Chain A
């Protein structure tokens, strides 16, 4: 099970994403933005950071990188894509997720821990969570204030696209528990098909209690379980896979003998 971690000039969280995947037993491959293929990847993470130095708008330039055509196709094919922080901004700029990310309330960069409640667990990124579970994740961003116009917001809510919402220690909602001003306290958002998810907080920085909270690990465990489930579903569906592999291996051995 291989996760492609896409990074751009200015990305700075790609190693953290790799580390998180390894912790749950997922293989990884760093995918440089100039590559034109994501073949061999079962899921993709768009890593956080400051792609292209946030020039123009956060995430605005990354969509033009060569690899992004493949990422769009990957999304259309229904494979899991997770955009974290700058990755979320890129997904929004590409139109894979609706709405926009504005400057935080207070107009300052904010690095802190923050709580959010999991509302949807029918997702490759939250299936290991319980519905209503409160996660404590670290966040660090300047432009994470999610916004969508009324009509879009109505669609988002109607399609059950909000996967997590910011909340207080007991799940209570309110401005005092919303760290960046996101509309409807939206903390994690998916596309209608559910395979593309974006969030500003960093699950890959929240993996062990020694460094704060271990809640982020749940999202990577979810991804691993989702990929394992879909792989075994594929195995069940495809006829005699073992034989097909053996046939491919055969000629190699033959040529080596020559």
Chain B
């Protein structure tokens, strides 16, 4: 047969330009499709292009910026481009991790939106051949005086708990912020970490002409059609609720058995490649696998298991029903693969085969309904250099700009009561944090610490997920740098060396120059921070269009850092360990920057959007982190706590009650904490005066500062180590058995508080806010 012979043309209604525009495409994008195909597409085909070329799948507005991020490093085993990144943890273990957003679905249906967000990130990790070991979540909501926001928080936390707990994967950390900018656009970013044998990372490949393509997992329904194009890639309007059918419904039980079956197949090395059905469903999985291998694929949608009748090929190709995977294997191994799926009572069907023509061909009971180059769907999406404007760098905020008559003790109480700072116990105790019995440090510390016991190792990983949106709101570039610095610093506080980061970039509409400018500046800042701190970006996710009726969210780059500890039983905790230990301030405490811009203190007592975020000396930050890792390795630190939200005074208070808080065993019905918690400690410290005043000294959020406690006999070694690392250090006081927090500034006592009272405020605030209903 010659090339000239008339090719069969797919059957079905032809899509003209208006139909493409209805699918959210532009006239130019439609013209490109016609040019690629050499004809007009069918409606099924235009549906496939619209989802694969959507912002969510194609990164068309962000790609030009993202490619500037550093992605290489000694420890990197897999950079961006696969389902997740991977770093080398030694002993043949790969740490596989990624963070992803599920923002818009969580606003429309908080429980299912968050649950399927967790399900999606888990499948990304499983697809790499890794067993998930831990989940973390970064959440953003409007303020809790609104019943709607309380409903969203309750639903999102319930959804995360419902899915993660049932999967048997502990949720061990993350963070939550509340700001009015998230009122109609909450953020739900879920991160997962798993481990795989370093030499057995699975990729989304469809190698081997004629190899069978298997569909496994849940049946396909109409849920989630247009999830990526309508929900994730467009600005919300007032009719958002009408998009509810585009939100998927999660079934963690099916995902659990799917995970066990897939991991059993990978363990026996029966797969050629694997891909989950994420955004854009079957279209994405088929085109990406074929394209990655330079092959084609032919599938028959009539073979796809369905949970409702009357689904068109178009609907089957675009459905985002959850808990489904695609697997390519060889004819020799297929019976063994099917036996495993049968053991786990899963639907598994061969729906097609790998072909050599580079085309993704979709049949419906033998009749061709779509035929497009796989590569054009997966890789040839549009790429835009959208115009942007970067806002001027704001001037720093001085103490004199924000005079405050409120007594320091009252400010401290207010900050500890602020849900942004208050204990998140109400949230974290709804998550199973201990299943699989690897959790060395649960949520609430600087970073979660997970033992790699299942790999037969004494090593552990520390993980932190951070991103201060107020800093980014004032200066997107420095805000992103601060996010990288804080996530890595938190990891280093446990003694772990940061190896890599994953990012979730949540921004407004890229079609508005100002928002695009925030994005461009943030990516540039993030790249700079990563280069200086030596942590590559191994993958991540961009979420644009986070704005409703022209109210954008604060630009919110979230950074998930992963680091390695050589011994699981040597991690450093954030809470003071014993009375009599010396309290040290380490890092950039002697700078002239007050750290007032964007601080919790200024937000609570002044206009929330003024000044510049804290200055950041990246070189000093790098030295500080190296010092922390070295000090932990030498066993010199009894505790290490980052000074961040709320500044020095809040860090000091939290260090006094962290250990006692972690040991609480009381019941749900005891709304007030036990009057006297065993193990509650105090501190007596003196700090130098600050040119910006006492409030700045206590509550300023100057970056790169860590509150360390150490046993007396380690004082000389600790100070010498800091000098060797060229990091400022000063002994400022001691940990006391009396639960009293005393702070002197330049000889004058400015705080003399009962730690039990501070604890009562801090520990009860969030539960109290949620019980408003």
Q: Show the binding face of A for B, using Cβ within 8 Å.
A: 9-13, 15-16, 19, 32, 34, 49-50, 52-55, 104-106, 108-115, 136, 138, 140, 142, 168-169, 175-181, 202, 204-205, 207, 210-212
Contacts and interface: CB of A to CB of B under 8 A. Distances in A.
Given A11-B168, A52-B253, A176-B669, 19 more contacts: A9-B256, A10-B166, A10-B257, A12-B168, A12-B435, A12-B436, A50-B166, A50-B253, A110-B430, A112-B665, A113-B664, A113-B665, A142-B165, A168-B665, A176-B667, A178-B669, A207-B437, A211-B434, A212-B434
Contact of B433 (A13, A15, A111): A111
Contact of A15 (B253, B428, B436, B440): B436
22 contacts: A9-B345, A10-B253, A10-B256, A19-B453, A34-B343, A49-B168, A50-B168, A52-B253, A53-B166, A53-B252, A109-B161, A111-B431, A113-B663, A113-B664, A113-B665, A140-B432, A169-B678, A176-B674, A177-B666, A210-B568, A211-B437, A211-B451
A252 to B, nearest CB: 31
Contact of A110 (B162, B253, B429, B439): B429
A50 B674 contact: no
- Residue among A12, A34, A54, A105 with the highest chain B CB neighbour number at 10 A: A12
Given A9-B256, A140-B432, A204 B667 contact: no
Chain A CB count within 10 A is highest, among B162, B253, B260, B451, for B253
A140 B161 CA distance: 11
Given A111-B433, A202-B434, A205-B435, A175 B667 contact: yes
A46 to B, nearest CB: 15
Contacts of A49: 168
B96 interface: no
A169 B167 CA distance: 32
Contacts of A111: 428-434
Given A140-B434, A207-B437, A112 B253 contact: no
B256 A16 contact: no
A80 B771 CA distance: 44
B251 interface: yes
B760 to A, nearest CB: 15
Interface in B128-160: none
B669 A106 contact: yes
A203 to B, nearest CB: 11
A-B CB proximity, top 3 nearest: A12-B168, A53-B253, A106-B668
A10 B257 CA distance: 7
A180 B668 CA distance: 7
Nearest to A7: B260
Given A111-B430, A112-B664, A13 B435 contact: yes
B670 interface: yes
Interface of B: 161-162, 165-168, 251-254, 256-257, 260, 343-345, 428-437, 439-440, 451, 453-454, 568-569, 663-670, 674, 678
A205 B437 contact: yes
Contacts of B429: 108, 110-112
A175 B430 contact: no
Contacts of B454: 15
Contacts of B344: 9
A44 B435 CA distance: 20
A240 B121 CA distance: 60
A108 B430 contact: yes
Contacts of A12: 166-168, 256, 435-436
B667 to A, nearest CB: 5
A111 B428 CA distance: 8
Given A109-B432, A111-B429, A140-B435, A179 B256 contact: no
Nearest to B438: A211
Nearest to A207: B437
A84 to B, nearest CB: 12
Given A13-B435, A140-B433, A105 B665 contact: no
Contact of A50 (B256, B260, B440): B256
B639 to A, nearest CB: 16
Nearest to B252: A53
A82 B353 CA distance: 48
Contacts of B257: 9-10
Contacts of A13: 168, 435
Contacts of A115: 665
Contacts of B162: 109
A212 B251 CA distance: 32
Most chain B Cβ neighbours within 10 Å, of A11, A104, A176, A202 = A176
Nearest to A20: B437
Given A115-B665, A140-B432, A55 B168 contact: no
A108 to B, nearest CB: 5
Nearest to B260: A9
A11 B166 CA distance: 9
B668 A210 contact: no
Given A9-B256, A9-B344, A111-B430, A211 B440 contact: yes
B516 to A, nearest CB: 41
A242 to B, nearest CB: 37
A54 B433 contact: no
Contact of A176 (B430, B663, B666): B666
Nearest to A216: B437
B665 A16 contact: no
Nearest to B261: A9
Contacts of B165: 50, 109, 140, 142
Contacts of A114: 665
A138 B668 contact: no
Given A13-B435, A110-B429, A105 B168 contact: no
A104 B668 contact: yes
Nearest to A110: B429
A226 to B, nearest CB: 23
B667 A53 contact: no
A37 B435 CA distance: 28
B432 A53 contact: no
B772 to A, nearest CB: 16
Nearest to A208: B569
A53 B436 CA distance: 18
Nearest to B453: A19
Contacts of A202: 434
A61 to B, nearest CB: 11
B339 to A, nearest CB: 13
Contacts of A32: 343
